[in-house]
Structure 1
């Protein structure tokens, strides 16, 4: 796999959902771009330059552009859904899950207050998780995106 991809005329960073899993295309150190996609197994970032054509040229119906805010929320939805563990970030994922499950059990949408709570908690867990990934050396970790 090449270290980077040179996207024609695309403003970076670029956030997307690819088959319901969020990813990002960012500037690479060599001047091109690098594509990273969330791992449902670890919550970290997997290099995925192999999907560049799908992302850039729409060769699949399962690519959606995301704003930075949507990207952060989608990343944390994936982490909260697929990961289990101990510690503060997982306690917050449990809280989010409890709020969502309560609304689902009551056959209703989240209230405005609940939605704001969930979005705020996801911004917080994003920073916490990305900070830990950065500490562990994940080259795609960026806790500043939730600001």
Structure 2
């Protein structure tokens, strides 16, 4: 994301179980970015009015942290690969598998561990997207 985009305010949505962010650009307008099948960001300006004005049961505004968590949950589910990010995705899955096997909820410690790892993978993935030239990438979102 270029500097002029990251200065504006952002709004975050769970759009049909897919992360969507609206980033304010100069002039008070928004640019929309939806998670792509490759883990990057596709421009989705056609969804702005639907999200802001129409809404619906499958569209919820979420917090910045919930957006980061949803993005990383979706990336881990959709993508396969090697390297540090994918090793961390496997670590998160291993943590999630334990309470699933034991038929219980995550403990507060497990929930915090998963959340922290996902914030880290978000930054790592977004930094790689920035290096590759993805204009929707913004690793600073995990800091808020």
Q: TM-score, normalised by structure 1?
A: 0.87
Deviation at 1:30, TM superposition (A): 6.8
Aligned partners of 2:18 and 2:34 also within 8 Å? yes
2:86 pairs with 1:85: no
Q: 1:33 aligns with which of 22, 30, 35?
A: 30
Q: 2:128 aligns with which of 105, 108, 132?
A: 132
User: As a proportion of its length, which structure holds more helix?
Assistant: 2
Q: Which has the higher contact order (CA 8 A, sep 6+)?
A: 2
Determine the structure 2 residue equivalent to 1:16: 13
Pairs aligned (count): 136
CA distance change for structure 1 residues 53 and 31 in 2, over 3 Å: closer, same or farther? closer
Gap runs ≥5 in structure 1? 1-10
Deviation at 1:59, TM superposition (A): 4.1
Determine the structure 2 residue equivalent to 1:108: 104
2:60 pairs with 1:70: no
Q: TM-score, normalised by structure 2?
A: 0.89
